[in-house]
Amino acid sequence: MTPLTSLDRPNSYIGRSVPRPNAKRLLAGRGRYVTDIRLPRMLHAAFLRSPYAHARIARVDVDAARALAGVHLVATGADLAKICTPWTGTLDHFKGMTSEPQLPLPLDRVVWAGQAVLAVVAESRAIAEDALELISVDYEELPAIVDLDAAREPGTPRVNPAGSSNICFRAQLDSGGVDEAFASAAHIIEEEFSFGRHTPVTLEPRAIVADYDPDGGMLTVHHATQTPYQFQDLYSRHYRIPEARVRVIAPDIGGSFGLKLHVYHEDMAVVGLSILLGRPVKFVADRLESFVSDIHARDHHVRARMAIDADGRILAMDVHDATAIGAFSTYPRTSVVEGNQVIRLIGAPYDFKSYRAALEVVFQNKVQTSQYRAVGHPIACAVTERMVDLAAARIGLDPFAIRAKNVIPDDAYPTASPTGYRFESLSHQVCLQRLREIMDYDALRAEQSELRQRGIHRGIGIATFVEITNPSPAFYGVGGARISSQDGATISLTPSGEVRCAISVTEQGQGTEAIISQIVADQLGLAQEHVKVITGDTEVTPHGGATWACRGAGIGGETALQAARKLKANILEIAALVLQEQPAALNIIDGEVVNAATRQPRLAIAEIARIAYFRSDTLPPGTQAQLTVSHHFAPQGYPFAFTNGIQGCYVEVDADTGFIKLLKHFVVEDCGRIINPMLVDEQVRGGVVQGLGAALFEECRYGETGQLLNGSLADYLVPMAMEMPDIVIAHVETPTADTALGAKGCGEAGTAAASACVLNAVNDALAPFCASINAVPITPARVLEALGRF
Amino acid sequence: MSSDIDEAEEAVRVRFIVNGRKVACEVAPRDTLVDCLRNSLELTGTHAGCEMGACGACLVRLDGRAVHACLMFAVQADGARIDTIEGLSESGDIADLQAEFHRRNALQCGFCTPGMLINAHELLSRLAEPSRAAIRDALSGNFCRCTGYEAIVDAIAAVADARAAKASQKGSPE
Ligand code: FES
Ligand code: FES
């Protein structure tokens, strides 16, 4: 007989793979996405978009469009500027940062090809689009700054004529000792890297229905977003509607990954259009609009140097990251967080002292970039891990051996990175060992060399990573952003003895509602099906940060845990009065109050609810049963809960065609306490595949005039089932001591290291050819170019 | 110009058998089948992800074959028998696929899921025991941004096995 574990306790759900209760609806086609919503008297918006990357709007003629039957409104930038205050995507803690103020629609200048210029609201989307055809706009073209390097050159025309240069932000880090370390190094590795732009491509595009009721002065927005509270605050402030009269509802969301937490001009405009018309207005970006108006991400050029000693120990790193972000910085989270994380995460898994980095964030005439899954991580990881592999090759060490020599030892915690990140407890050494086992590394190497004899070129790549999760107010709050790092829950025992938990973290399919119900059921002592979780409505749950930066389990989960413990204490207090016992002598198991020592059932919690709600007269005088509890939790202690892990992959490169086949992928991941192992694995797999897409396929390609050349799902390649490998996952659990739950995050882990891994594997495969690639995505053309065959 | 628009808007009456019931609706000649299903018939389980045949979110069964509802005008489907995710759910035809997807969490946001199920259903009706590679190949027109595909492949493979086991039990003498 296997020994009993904590999972054998009744109602123990923490650590258990249970299916998501809310997934059945989606499987039956009963999801309710914003795309599906239809309200009475609802109208539809469509936007005329700029064909130029940079131009002055000289003249606009909308008369014919206004006259078309079925058209209710044609709105210009000036119309919306009358009711909406401008926004600026800067934060105070990014010293010296600049960005142009933004309005829903431009007044006189467009700054990227695809920018919304005018809005039409009509009885159907089709009529609105017909009306767009009737609008004529005269543009005077201005010089478009497209390329990242061109934008940085002195004397280049400015993206914003009012600005003094194309620089949005600069930052520097220097731990000291860098020059000395390089002077004394046995070897110096130098490399340049480039990372293309890509975009989240959620399958459900951005969607919003704004519904302004002029009589009640009440705005309701059905918004496909991760962060309803952030938008409640923004709509309230920019349209000057009291916050309590703004309600944002995020129903089922068809994927987000960071895409749906930024302010988009069209979304702000739709709110204004509804206010101007006093009717519900809907806008769903079609796929072509998504490509030119959703945030993009990455777009970095990195120069890196690494100093190592004769034994292969890393002594120092010196890096420069230049990144281009579009014509302005995204609101309210800015477009500089990615670069900032790149320079702070480079080298993070390794034990060395001397680090210097410079970051340069520049404007260009393209759509805005901002936070997308694993912000900055894939770039920091690819640069670091490729440099480590180059160092290993220089001195003839195996990739595992050089990492084993350099990772921060598991017994060295707490410690800090040379960039100032404080690490509570990471597990690089044990992860490295686990990866070696699950890959069966030695056998793979043997197979690789045997196949090489036969002209088959396989490569093995590994990449360690550190992931940032559970951010404290140090992330946005200190910079003045009204983005909460705390969450809140209201939890009730209902009159029939069930539990209802309304919580501010949100669901986009990752399983937030499932894990919250697991935690609540576990802590209160009842079956999971008796817990109903409600998310995504600012009118119903307390204010909170919602779901981003992997905070759902760590912060949301801890909020639910603490709220459930409070409610349990209140239930037991009433039970103790009814049973004439001490609360400490009682417990709850399976919805029954039991004797804590003997587990003998005494009274159903439904009975306590009945008495408290309907027969309070039978309770001792002065008793006020509190069967609803509201509770907030803000992370304290470490500013971030760092997690870590390592990935490996096995690829085959066709040296004649440049095609890369992904054979197998491996992940060892430490996200702290695991609440639902199946959901964690699925987060990791989904994340890996997004990283693999970035590694091999995904790139927003622009022409010289700033036109996006591949802005459709037929032209922009995304990873499909056929090209993706099976992914083997193993876990190490190092819970954080900052919370009772001990959970950190796992949503970025897969994406963080997947492209680094593939980059190393492809270079490993190309080693016999003395060819090297340091650009992502690794397209067949780049492979052939590296092989000198193109 | 505006007379063109009036013409485009002229409604045409079409009839289908949708999920086993006869329906008639008025559509504009330019309305796609996916718009007609979602808007006129309120069958919002069929999704639109690209409207150009690249993502598979809009797959429905038309006269027994999986087709992209975004690539077809509603008027072209006049007279057809159409089954959507709603009908397939109610009939129980794909209950085993749905249960296995649920058990293995082969969906996250669920936006690709109706199209995936319809494609999986079609695959298993053509091929009793597809290999994993054949399943991956069959799904190559269904984009999923969330799952990484592996759980979907696993779920379909498990259902294929279970159906095959059931069929062989039935076929073998007691
Ligand atoms: S919407 Fe039809 S294939 Fe994408
Ligand atoms: S589950 Fe979200 S697209 Fe597949």
HSE (side-chain half, CA atoms, 13 Å) at A196: 21
Q: Do B28 and A724 touch (CB under 8 A)?
A: no
**The domain that contains A100 carries what CATH number?**
3.90.1170.50
- In a shared domain, residues A60 and A25: no
Q: Quick one: pLDDT band at residue A357, thresholds 50, 70, 90?
A: very high
In A470-582, the DSSP E strands lie at: 487-493, 499-503, 531-534
Of the candidates A458, A302, A457, the one whose C-alpha atom is nearest the C-alpha of residue A387 is A302
Choose the mutation target among A506, A666, A720 for the interface with B, i.e. most B CBs under 10 Å.
A720
- C-alpha–C-alpha distance, residues A324 and A297, integer Å: 9
- In a shared domain, residues A374 and A497: no
Among B113, B135, B150, whose Cβ lies nearest the Cβ of A727?
B150
Q: Do B1 and A201 touch (CB under 8 A)?
A: no
The pLDDT tens digits of the residues spanning A110-150 come to 999 999 999 999 999 999 999 999 999 999 999 999 999 99
**B94-168 maps to which CATH number?**
1.10.150.120
Among A32, A686, A718, whose Cβ lies nearest the Cβ of B148?
A686
Burial, A681: exposed, middle or buried (Cβ in 10 Å; 0-12, 13-18, 19+)?
Answer: buried
Nearest atom (ligand 2) to Cα of B109? 2
Nearest atom (ligand 2) to Cα of A254? 2
* pTM higher than 0.80: yes
Q: Domain map of chain B by residue range?
A: 2-89, 94-168
Per mean pLDDT, which range of A3-7, A578-582, A670-674 is the poorest?
A3-7
- In a shared domain, residues A576 and A664: no
Task: Return all residues near A466 (Cβ < 8 A) that are at least 6 apart.
Answer: A345, A348, A349, A417, A421, A423, A426, A642, A643, A644
- In a shared domain, residues A686 and A664: yes
- C-alpha–C-alpha distance, residues A707 and A726, integer Å: 36
- In a shared domain, residues A550 and A561: yes
**The domain that contains A428 carries what CATH number?**
3.30.365.10
Among B2, B104, B139, whose Cβ lies nearest the Cβ of A68?
B2
Taking all residues of chain A, what is their mean pLDDT, rounded to a whole number? 96
Please name the residue of chain A whose CA is at the shortest distance from the CA of residue B51.
A287
Alpha-carbon distance A513 to nearest alpha carbon in chain B (angstroms): 12
Task: Return all residues near A39 (Cβ < 8 A) that are at least 6 apart.
Answer: A209, A211, A280, A282
Q: Looking at residue A476, what is its pLDDT?
A: 83
| Domain end call among A594, A614, A633 | A633
- At B156, list the tokens: 């379909």
The pLDDT tens digits of the residues spanning A751-772 come to 999 999 999 999 999 999 999 9
Nearest atom (ligand 2) to Cα of A204? 3
- At A74, list the tokens: 């044609």
The reply to whether A591 falls in a domain is: yes
Task: Return all residues near B93 (Cβ < 8 A) that are at least 6 apart.
Answer: B121
Q: Quick one: pLDDT band at residue A552, thresholds 50, 70, 90?
A: confident
The pLDDT tens digits of the residues spanning A605-647 come to 999 999 999 999 999 999 999 999 999 999 888 888 899 999 9
What spacing in Å lies between the alpha carbon of A343 and ligand 2's midpoint?
A: 32
Residues facing residue A281 across a β-bridge: A43, A210
Taking 80 as the threshold, does the pLDDT of residue A6 lie above it? no
Q: Do B108 and A33 touch (CB under 8 A)?
A: no
Of the candidates A629, A512, A656, A499, the one whose C-alpha atom is nearest the C-alpha of residue A566 is A629
Q: Looking at residue A1, what is its pLDDT?
A: 47
Nearest atom (ligand 2) to Cα of B108? 1
C-beta separation of B149 from A724 below 8 A: yes
Alpha-carbon torsion A344, A350, A355, A359, what sign?
A: negative
* pLDDT higher at A485 or A381: A381
Pocket of ligand 2 (CB under 6 A): A 203, 255, 509; B 107-112, 144-147
- In a shared domain, residues A718 and A614: no
Q: Do A685 and B150 touch (CB under 8 A)?
A: yes
Among B49, B137, B146, whose Cβ lies nearest the Cβ of A686?
B146
The pLDDT tens digits of the residues spanning A453-489 come to 999 999 999 999 999 988 888 778 888 889 988 999 9
**Cβ contacts of A126 on chain B, cutoff 8 Å:** 9, 28, 30-31
Q: Do B105 and A28 touch (CB under 8 A)?
A: no
Pocket of ligand 1 (CB under 6 A): B 48-51, 53-58, 68, 70
- In a shared domain, residues A279 and A372: no
Among A38, A64, A713, whose Cβ lies nearest the Cβ of B52?
A713
B149 in contact with A at a CB cutoff of 8 Å?
A: yes
Task: Return all residues near A53 (Cβ < 8 A) that are at least 6 apart.
Answer: A111, A112, A113, A144, A146, A365, A366, A705, A706, A707
What is the DSSP secondary structure assignment for residue B100, as one 8-state letter?
Answer: H
The reply to whether A148 falls in a domain is: no
- C-alpha–C-alpha distance, residues A150 and A315, integer Å: 34
Nearest atom (ligand 2) to Cα of B107? 1
What spacing in Å lies between the alpha carbon of A293 and ligand 1's midpoint?
A: 20
Q: Do A718 and B145 touch (CB under 8 A)?
A: yes
Please give the average per-residue pLDDT across A695-713, as a whole number. Answer: 97
B87 in contact with A at a CB cutoff of 8 Å?
A: no
Choose the mutation target among B149, B152, B153, B159 for the interface with A, i.e. most A CBs under 10 Å.
B149
Nearest atom (ligand 2) to Cα of A203? 3
The reply to whether A430 falls in a domain is: yes
Cis previous bond, A414, omega within 30: yes
Among 3.40.50.1970, 3.10.20.30, 3.40.50.970, 3.40.50.920, what is the CATH number of B2-89?
3.10.20.30
The reply to whether A154 falls in a domain is: no
C-beta separation of A660 from A347 below 8 A: no
The reply to whether A188 falls in a domain is: no
- In a shared domain, residues A117 and A66: yes
Task: Return all residues near A785 (Cβ < 8 A) that are at least 6 apart.
Answer: none
| Domain end call among A585, A605, A633 | A633
- At A367, list the tokens: 């759509």
The reply to whether A677 falls in a domain is: yes
The backbone region for A650, taken as left when phi is positive above 0, alpha when psi lies in -120 to 50, beta otherwise, is beta
Nearest CA to ligand 2 atom 4: B144
- At A393, list the tokens: 């090759």
DSSP string, A643-665: EEEEEEEEEEE-TTT--EEEEEE
What spacing in Å lies between the alpha carbon of A611 and ligand 2's midpoint?
A: 45
Interface pTM, i.e. ipTM = 0.96
What is the DSSP secondary structure assignment for residue A781, as one 8-state letter?
Answer: H
Please give the average per-residue pLDDT across A221-230, as a whole number. Answer: 96
Segments in chain B below pLDDT 70: 1-9, 171-174
Q: Do A724 and B137 touch (CB under 8 A)?
A: no
B111 in contact with A at a CB cutoff of 8 Å?
A: yes
Q: How many contacts does A have with B, using Cβ atoms within 8 A?
A: 184
C-beta separation of A371 from A334 below 8 A: no
Cα-Cα-Cα-Cα dihedral of A109, A113, A115, A117, to 10°? 60
Task: Return all residues near B57 (Cβ < 8 A) that are at least 6 apart.
Answer: A203, B46, B47, B48, B49, B50, B111, B112, B114, B115, B142, B143
- At A521, list the tokens: 């059921």
* pLDDT higher at A10 or A595: A595
Alpha-carbon distance A504 to nearest alpha carbon in chain B (angstroms): 18
Q: Looking at residue B172, what is its pLDDT?
A: 62
What spacing in Å lies between the alpha carbon of A43 and ligand 1's midpoint?
A: 24
**Cβ contacts of B5 on chain A, cutoff 8 Å:** 68, 127, 130
- At B94, list the tokens: 């794909």
Q: Looking at residue B9, what is its pLDDT?
A: 62
B105 in contact with A at a CB cutoff of 8 Å?
A: yes
Nearest atom (ligand 1) to Cα of B51? 1
Choose the mutation target among B5, B60, B105, B117 for the interface with A, i.e. most A CBs under 10 Å.
B105
Choose the mutation target among B145, B152, B159 for the interface with A, i.e. most A CBs under 10 Å.
B145
Please give the average per-residue pLDDT across A37-45, as a whole number. Answer: 98
Beta carbons within 10 angstroms of residue B73's beta carbon = 18
Please name the residue of chain A whose CA is at the shortest distance from the CA of residue B149.
A721
Q: Do A713 and B49 touch (CB under 8 A)?
A: yes
**Cβ contacts of B143 on chain A, cutoff 8 Å:** 203, 713, 718, 720
Task: Find tokens 């999704």 and name the residue.
Answer: B47
Residue A719 domain boundaries = 300-473+637-786
- In a shared domain, residues A311 and A450: yes
Q: Quick one: pLDDT band at residue A7, thresholds 50, 70, 90?
A: confident
- C-alpha–C-alpha distance, residues A208 and A223, integer Å: 5
Q: Looking at residue A163, what is its pLDDT?
A: 86
| Domain end call among A583, A599, A633 | A633
What spacing in Å lies between the alpha carbon of A204 and ligand 2's midpoint?
A: 9
What spacing in Å lies between the alpha carbon of A643 and ligand 2's midpoint?
A: 25
Relative to the alpha carbon of B113, which ligand is closest? 2
The pLDDT tens digits of the residues spanning B16-64 come to 999 999 999 999 999 999 999 999 999 999 999 999 999 999 999 999 9
Please report, as a single letter, which amino acid is at residue A712: S
Q: Looking at residue A479, what is its pLDDT?
A: 86
Of the candidates B168, B172, B97, the one whose C-alpha atom is nearest the C-alpha of residue B139 is B97
B73 in contact with A at a CB cutoff of 8 Å?
A: no
Nearest CA to ligand 1 atom 3: B53
- In a shared domain, residues A89 and A234: yes
The pLDDT tens digits of the residues spanning A141-177 come to 999 999 999 999 888 999 998 888 999 999 999 999 9
- C-alpha–C-alpha distance, residues A199 and A712, integer Å: 12
- In a shared domain, residues A307 and A386: yes
- In a shared domain, residues A325 and A381: yes
- Total tally of structural domains belonging to chain A: 3
B144 in contact with A at a CB cutoff of 8 Å?
A: yes
* Ligand 1 pocket mutation pick from B44, B50, B72, B112 by most atoms within 8 angstroms of CB: B50
